[in-house]
Structure 1
Amino acid sequence: MSVATPAPEPTPEDVARGLAELERHLGAPAPHPPEARPTGADDASSGETRRVKRLRAEVAEARLIAGLQDDDTPLLLDTPRVRKRRKAAREAARLHELGQDPAMRAWQAARMRRLLVAVAMVSLTLALAWSTAGVQHFASEGAALWSPSWVFAWLVEPFMSMALLFVVGARAYLATRGQPIVSRTLVRIEGVFLALTFGMNVWPYLPWSLPQGKAFTVSGIVLHILGPSIAVAIVIALPIVLGAFAGLDHERPTGAPTGPTYWANAAPGGADIAALAARVHDLIDAGELPEAPSATRIQRTLRCGMDTARAVRDELAEGAT
């Protein structure tokens, strides 16, 4: 069994040299730890900086956009404004087509006729009511207030107006049925009622009828002839207008007219000129038409087309020769 040799004891030089190494070691600066790189930091060695990555993304986006720009599909889509205009155009076209339908044309004409008749009758009633005060002033002849003469004077205009409205209403209604009354007697009756209303309104305000000390004024005459004048206009115009409505043909038009045109004749499928000429002869014999009526007068009386009226006029002229 071997015996371990004891280590030699250090000499004073070894101790001094160890202390010097220890002091040198302790005096040296401590090494700095490596800096921590932030998460997601760019790799400088590969050149992939944040700016490079952003530019790479822009280039990729531009390439995709350039490829999609050749596709016209988005241009084929309707914008909300285009759809709104297209809807309005379709609606206008359908309304126009509906307006050409015979049933719709007849309904529109009937509605307009009712409106015109209502306006005319309201205006006529107001005009006759306006003249009532003037007629009462004429008929009372200065009677005392609330005396029998003064009270009954208010009834003069109403019963004349009712009689006038009876004649006007009958002519207007029959005109709407295509059977206008062509009677000089009724025209004279209307003229008498209107002349009486006109005269009684104006007479007290004429220069020779004014009391002494009261000056004549044109405005007084105008105000009192306003009501009778409107009544005369409506009485004359209403049967003519309604007769024109009765002569309307509501069939679908075949083309745009190039001038004053009438759609069709009175008789369905064409007019019998000889029969119409015989009817005009009867009206001439009855005194309701002149000896040689014009085409316009014949058209207005028979409610036929203007071409038919001209043919009837020529037929009458040939028969006269």
Structure 2
Amino acid sequence: MKFVSPKIDYAFKKIFGSQQSQDILISFLNAIIYGGKKNIQSLTIVNPFNPGQLLSLKDTYLDVKAVLVDGSIVVIEMQVARMTAFNKRVAYNLANTCANQLETEEDCLLLNPAIAVTITDFILFKDTEDVINKFVFQQETKNFKFLEEELQLFFVELPKFKKNLSELDSLSDKWIYFLKGASRLDEIPENLREVSEIEKALNVANKINMTAEELDIVERRGIAMQDERGQITYAEQQGEQRGEQRGEQKGQQKGRAQLIIRQLKKRFGEIPETIISQIEDLSVADLDNLGEDFLDFNNLEDLLSWWPNN
């Protein structure tokens, strides 16, 4: 058996957003939102998966949206590559999902809870090792909650998940393992088969059950995804190199300025702060010139007369 990666947007939508995916999505959401408790019993998938329709649409359409039996709206997104202002975009999508329920302000009493579940293939929160993080509105100093049910954000960071197959002991563990490692499996492991919804998800992701057209789409979208990640990595590396170069140049400039100031003080005693500031602002090239020329100075007046020439 060979499985496509659920991290590829097309495959993610097919697995979790098809008309026949209700039980898969219910199990996944119960695992991530409710810690495995069967709080969600039924839901309706909005804009269900349609292979022909997805060919020309942008990646953002490939998010999965569902309405729970109590009216709560859940938006599930897989994000593989970092992007500018990602956190703000997630917050906007949640607020937009909530606001789109109403036609006028007077209808606010009819608002249903809005929940965003965002899965990232990169680390968002470096201050915690938790794989799943939940955010709600709460008071800043006393930490009591506000709008606890109405607006909720869940993040699942796949790189933080380190468990192997033998260590999976919860429903959330098994679903996160599926998301992160399905493409590396060559069969359905027994402890994943124990969850019928995960077994079904793996059968959906099984390449043998896909048409040639679907496999082609998955391959092309997977290549596009890798290209996007490669471009972002390259840009980050270039930025780091430029930063290192700027840091190195700044270090050289600061070191040379301090050396010349010490030498000037040895020759001429105390140096006015205004002159020290001007020396510290000189470029490396100007500092090199000053380092050679000051040997010919007899007093500070020679230094001041040198200045206009640079």
Interval containing the TM-score (normalised by the shorter chain): under 0.3
Higher gyration radius (CA): 1
Structure with a larger share of its residues in strand: 2
Of structures 1 and 2, the one scoring higher in RCO (CA 8 A, sep 6+) is 2
Tell me the TM-score normalized by structure 1.
0.22
